């Protein structure tokens, strides 16, 4: 069934949305808000309305889903620089982006950053002018005190003054018309 295999998307709670799961990791940081109408539920590792979809969690009827969007932009900053990036970041019409929880970023780092996926992910992201993911680099998560290493299962505490990569996430709900 591919459970746990990054090559086919069976990692943790990150996948293609076809398993009907709705777990978003630790449950922290999920925004409520607008429901975006769609003709069909988007798939992960693809674009939806100009945004990169990292994860899809469908409901039982597959008529509504939560999308975890991964920012097209990437920054290399110290912990002190996180707030200036998060504050006011927007992609097209979507605002209020956040840092990923540690569980979200660890799962995304394995799923998106795995050697079998990173080239196709980068191809999608750069096709709309986004920044390439960087393999084997630490990405901020949680409150900025932790990092997850892209393409691996490694994570740890950040070090004051050290630079890490930063990608923001946004959870949105879509509903089939």
Q: What is the pLDDT of residues 136-159, one digit of tens each?
A: 899 999 999 999 999 888 999 999
Q: How far apart are the C-alpha atoms of 117 and 110, rounded to whole Å?
A: 9
Tell me the whole-structure pTM to 2 decimals: 0.79
Query: Quick one: average pLDDT of 36-65?
Result: 91
Which tokens is 143 given? 């409150």
The predicted structure's pLDDT at residue 135: 86
Confidence of residue 33 (pLDDT cuts 50, 70, 90): low
């Amino acid at each position: 069934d591919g459970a746990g295999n990054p090559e086919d998307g069976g990692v943790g709670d990150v996948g293609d949305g076809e398993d009907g799961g709705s777990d978003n990791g630790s449950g922290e940081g999920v925004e409520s808000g607008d429901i975006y109408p769609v003709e069909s539920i988007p798939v992960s590792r693809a674009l939806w309305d100009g945004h990169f979809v990292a994860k899809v969690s469908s409901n039982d009827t597959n008529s509504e889903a939560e999308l975890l969007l991964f920012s097209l932009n990437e920054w290399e900053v110290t912990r002190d620089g996180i707030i200036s990036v998060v504050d006011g970041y927007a992609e097209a019409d979507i605002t209020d982006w956040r840092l990923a929880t540690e569980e979200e970023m660890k799962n995304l780092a394995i799923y998106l950053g795995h050697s079998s996926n990173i080239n196709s992910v980068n191809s999608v992201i750069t096709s709309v002018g986004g920044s390439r993911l960087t393999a084997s680099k630490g990405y901020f998560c949680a409150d900025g005190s932790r990092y997850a290493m892209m393409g691996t299962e490694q994570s740890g505490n950040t070090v004051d003054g050290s630079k890490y990569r930063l990608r923001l996430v946004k959870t949105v709900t879509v509903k089939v018309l």
